[in-house]
């Protein structure tokens, strides 16, 4: 299963960043394809949105380890999808390193649509979404903006702005 990972320094306390990202209600503010997220009971979540031009409504699991500032999640659906996010202390009390790791093997139809979004490169489309998520977290937690949408393919290589 393909793996994707990226990290970004956020100039905010690790506690504040983890509290923001671990609140299910905040997920639509930083996940590019998510429009709505809600708790479905203990360690259960429902997310709705649009990916690769198709609406989705998915249930999955979500585990929080507040002592380690770590979240783990996965889908119940047809796409094999799991991931984790960790918030680590930075060089001072008001900074941290946010790392996101995804394991994602979409079913063939979604695979093709993701490849179209990435200019023929599915992995590029997924990496762009990961980068946009991290940049959104940074913007919001630093009070410098909001959600970042991943760039759409135009035939050349693009990456999300990462200030």
- The larger pLDDT score, comparing residue 137 to residue 79, is at 137
**Model confidence pLDDT, tens digit, residues 2-19:** 899 999 999 999 999 999
CA 150 – CA 135 distance, rounded (Å) = 10
Q: Enter the pTM of the model.
A: 0.83
Cross-strand pairs, 77? none
- Which pLDDT belongs to residue 159? 37
The domains of the chain, with CATH numbers, are 3-141 (3.30.530.20)
Give the burial string for 21-32 (b: 16+ CB within 10 Å, else e).
bbebeebbbbbb
**Model confidence pLDDT, tens digit, residues 92-140:** 999 999 999 999 776 666 556 655 655 667 788 888 999 999 999 999 9
Q: What is the largest CA-CA distance in the chain?
A: 45
Q: Does residue 81 surpass a pLDDT of 70?
A: yes
- Which pLDDT belongs to residue 40? 94
Which residue, chain included where needed, has tokens 């949408």? 149
């Amino acid at each position: 299963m393909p793996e994707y990972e990226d990290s970004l320094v956020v100039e905010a306390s690790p506690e504040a960043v983890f509290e923001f990202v671990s609140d299910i209600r905040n997920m639509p503010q930083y996940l590019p394809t998510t429009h709505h997220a809600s708790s479905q009971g203990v360690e259960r979540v429902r997310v709705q949105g649009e990916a690769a031009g198709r609406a989705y409504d998915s249930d999955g699991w979500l585990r929080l380890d507040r002592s380690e500032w770590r979240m783990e999640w996965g889908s119940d659906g047809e796409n094999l999808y799991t991931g984790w996010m960790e918030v680590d202390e930075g060089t001072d009390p008001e900074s941290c390193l946010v790392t996101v790791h995804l394991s994602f093997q979409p079913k063939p139809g979604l695979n093709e649509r993701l490849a179209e979004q990435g200019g023929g490169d599915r992995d590029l489309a997924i990496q762009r979404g990961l980068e946009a998520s991290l940049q959104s977290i940074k913007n919001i937690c630093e009070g410098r903006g909001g959600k970042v949408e991943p760039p759409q393919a135009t035939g050349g290589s693009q990456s999300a702005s990462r200030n």
